[in-house]
Structure 1
Amino acid sequence: MEMGAEGDMDKASVEHLYCCGAVTELLKFGPRDLRRTSAKLLFLVIPGNPGVVGFYKTFMQTLYQSFGRRYPVWAVSHAGHCNPPDAMDMVEDSYVTESRGVFGLQGQIDHKLSFLQQHVPRDTRLVLIGHSIGCYIILDMMRKDPGLKVLKSVLLFPTIERMAATPHFRVPGHESNAMYMGGQEMRMVLERDNATIRHNLNKLVFYYGATDHWCPVQYYHDIKKDFPTGDIRLCESGLRHAFVLDAGKRMADMVTEWLQSDLKDL
């Protein structure tokens, strides 16, 4: 392969579409349409809040390159967590978005399931990568749709319990949709979903921060005690909760190492 062609492959494509009636931004490395490719596995990143996919570009590009460009790596924004292009409005159908509560936490979970249903063939194997509230979303996706062909879910700096009790409580983001979702997180993310974790333990990797004010180290010790055989890790690299701002490549290198054995036989 010529260097120029390889460089083109490493460029991300950005798309905007309506999902559940709300504008949604996609960031994609590799094939843009899974129905026109032989790819049988997709890496899908579910972001934190605000759910802006551009923050994950370095992280995603590193993953794509690390696995030899064999697997597409996509990220899907949260509904309404992006600036729509000139030809699109924030909302395509206000009745749909309001009736389905798409901008709330449960609505965002259904939004991700709808995206998969509409754009990812059902037999595609999935590596789901969640960050912060994206980890809560992934666990609930796995609970609601146990038929998803999840090979592994990697949960980075997971906010999956007792959010309102964290020492640095604040509503993230500056735009109204992010703040609305953040307020719901504080009310709804209470108890850890141990039943879903237990049922899927061999598919889950947890990575807790050592100085994460959104998810104190005590939460790591608690889940480690409850699931002693789980793949539950504590950061030893000094990464912060918002790792995407300055350590996307380092985080992707670690995730690559964790997944090598799971992907080697595909």
Structure 2
Amino acid sequence: RIQHGESGAPRAVPPEGAGHGQGLHGLELRHGVARDKIQGAVPVASRSGRPWQSRGIVGFYKDFVEALYENLGGQASVTAIGHISHGQKDYEHGRLFSLHEQIEHKIDFLEQELLHTEQSIIVVGHSIGAYIGLEICKRFQKKVKIFLGLYPFLTLNKNAMKQSAIGYVARSSLLSKGVSLLASFIGSLQASVTRSIVKRFLGSSWSATAIDAGCSHLLQYHTMRNVLFMAKTEFQKLNEEPDWNFIRAKQAQIAFLFGVDDHWGPLTHLEEISKHAPRVALSIEKEGHTHGYCCTEAGSFWVADYAANLIKNQMLVGDS
């Protein structure tokens, strides 16, 4: 749990029952409760005066979440909820978690957090996190004030070769194990060698924070197995149409940010949303950032600024 220090800056306070911690720039990221990956973190903001809390591995989103908190003027608590068994340590002893189980994990966490408060919340989801965020909104309809989906992955793009390739690997237990073994082997090398490989083949433009998160958390056998297993169940579920009835019913509270060239959330999906729910706030990012915006400082800061401005504007409209 992150609280204010005497200077007003965030400081880390160990949460009860947390696992091992890792300090990053004065913040303590806890591994024992929830974990995340490059795609799909679900930041939740409430209108209180506390800074952001971290539950799990939020290394990929650290710059974004800190910038979002600052851009909201320190007037909101921002909690980044990651995915089970996507962290450095295998606390779940090899268990694989489906998309449905990951959604229930977020809902269970929020039920505990919101049990004794009347506070409204704002849900922000990236990639598959946008799909998860909409499911959260369904469960907490009286609590959620605004939902924002960033570069959303809401349904399959059957024209995307990358998605087809990922789906092929994810559906094969043998290939998934092979990819996971390769990832864990790279992660087991000397730290400087691992960093060099990650920077060369995955993140030539990544921030140092993202490279650190990739080396220490993504390149673990159990993490990669869970990434691919979750992807398999995502592709099964997202073969369906989005829940247009719900999106239409809540369209005044929903916003999406799309990228210009993003196969996870192509502009054809933006057009579909506009057709089914014309009051949804739709934006297109044209600054040259990517689906993995959170892996660069420039992307993190730009998207955080966009999100904060949208939230503040929506709150003004809602209060008027």
What's the TM-score, normalizing by structure 2?
0.64
1:180 aligns with one of 224, 229, 239: 229
Shift of 1:128: 0.7
Q: CA deviation at 1:148?
A: 4.6
Which range moves more in the overlay, 207-216 or 118-127?
A: 118-127
- Per-residue displacement from partner, 1:29-78 (whole Å, max 9, x unpaired)? 9xxxx9xxx938998999xxxx9521111111111111221111111111
Residue in structure 2 matched with residue 133 of structure 1 by the alignment: 128
Matched, 1:260 2:262: no
Instruction: Kindly indicate whether the alpha-carbon contact (under 8 Å) linking 1:45 and 1:130 is maintained by their aligned counterparts in 2.
Output: no
Relative to structure 1, is the Cα distance of residues 181 and 157 closer, same or farther in structure 2, using a 3 angstrom cutoff?
same
**Ranges of 4+ aligned residues in structure 1 off by more than 4 Å:** 8-11, 40-46, 171-174
1:245 deviates by 1.1
Which amino acid in structure 1 is aligned with residue 237 of structure 2? M
Note closer, same or farther for the CA distance 1:40–1:64 as it changes in structure 2 (3 Å cut): closer
What is the aligned partner in structure 1 of residue 145 from structure 2? 151
Structure 2 residue 65 is the aligned partner of structure 1 residue 65: no
Tell me the distance in 2 between the aligned counterparts of 1:235 and 1:25: 27
Q: Contact 2:31–2:88 at 8 Å: present in 1 too?
A: no
Three-state SS of the structure 1 residue aligned to 2:291 is: coil
Q: Percent identity?
A: 25
Cα gap change, 1:185/1:204 in structure 2, threshold over 3 Å: closer, same or farther? same
What displacement does 1:140 show?
1.6
Q: Could you tell me which residue of structure 2 aligns to residue 53 of structure 1?
A: 58
Q: Name the CA distance, whole Å, in 2 between partners of 1:136 and 1:41.
A: 27
Flag the 1:44–1:205 CA change in 2: closer, same or farther, 3 A. farther
- Answer yes or no: is the 8 Å Cα contact 1:42–1:126 preserved in 2: no
Decide whether the 8 Å contact of 1:43 with 1:129 is kept in 2: no
Contact 2:52 2:66 in 1 (8 A): no
Asked which structure has the greater CA Rg, the reply is: 2
1:203 CA drift (Å): 1.1
CA contact (8 A) 1:62 1:253 kept: yes
Does 2:116 correspond to 1:112? no
Alpha-carbon distance in 2 for matches of 1:156, 1:212:
11
Instruction: Give the aligned residue type for 2:48.
Output: A
Is the deviation greater in 64-73 or in 129-138? Answer: 64-73
Task: List runs of 5+ in structure 2 lacking aligned partners.
Answer: 13-25, 171-217
Aligned residues: 236
Q: What is the aligned partner in structure 2 of residue 90 from structure 1?
A: 91
**Secondary structure of 1:255's aligned partner:** helix
Q: Distance in 2 between matches of 1:111 and 1:103?
A: 10
Q: CA deviation at 1:139?
A: 1.1
Contact between 1:79 and 1:111, CA under 8 Å: does it hold in 2?
yes
* 1:88-132 deviation per Cα after TM superposition (whole angstroms, max 9, x unaligned): x5128x9xxx7xxx7100111111000111233452211111000
Give, in angstroms, the shift of residue 14 of structure 1.
2.0
Distance 1:258 1:64 in 2: 14
Conservation of the 8 A alpha-carbon contact between 2:48 and 2:77: yes
SS in 1 for 2:79: strand
Q: Aligned-pair distance for 1:253?
A: 0.6
* Structure 1 residue 195 displacement after superposition: 1.3
1:77 aligns with 2:82: yes
SS at match of 1:14: strand
Q: Hey, what does 1:123 align to over in structure 2?
A: 118
Q: Is the 8 A contact 2:258 2:270 kept in 1?
A: yes
Q: CA deviation at 1:9?
A: 4.8
RMSD between aligned alpha carbons? Answer: 3.4
Instruction: Write the letter of the residue equivalent to 1:62.
Output: A
When residues 164 and 107 of structure 1 are mapped into structure 2, their CA distance, relative to the original with a 3 A threshold, is farther
Q: Indicate how the Cα distance of structure 1 residues 224 and 232 shifts in structure 2: closer, same or farther if over 3 A, else same.
A: same
Higher helix share: 2
Query: SS of the residue aligned with 2:67?
Result: helix
Match of 2:243 in 1: 193
Cα distance, 1:165 vs structure 2: 4.7
Q: Judging changes above 3 Å, is the alpha-carbon distance between structure 1 residues 217 and 8 closer, same or farther for their aligned structure 2 residues?
A: closer
Q: In the TM superposition, what are the counterparts of 1:217-228 in structure 2 within 5 Å?
A: 217-228=267-278
How far does residue 223 in structure 1 lie from its aligned partner after superposition?
1.6
Q: Structure 2: how far apart are the matches of 1:44 and 1:217?
A: 33
SS of the equivalent of 1:241 reads coil
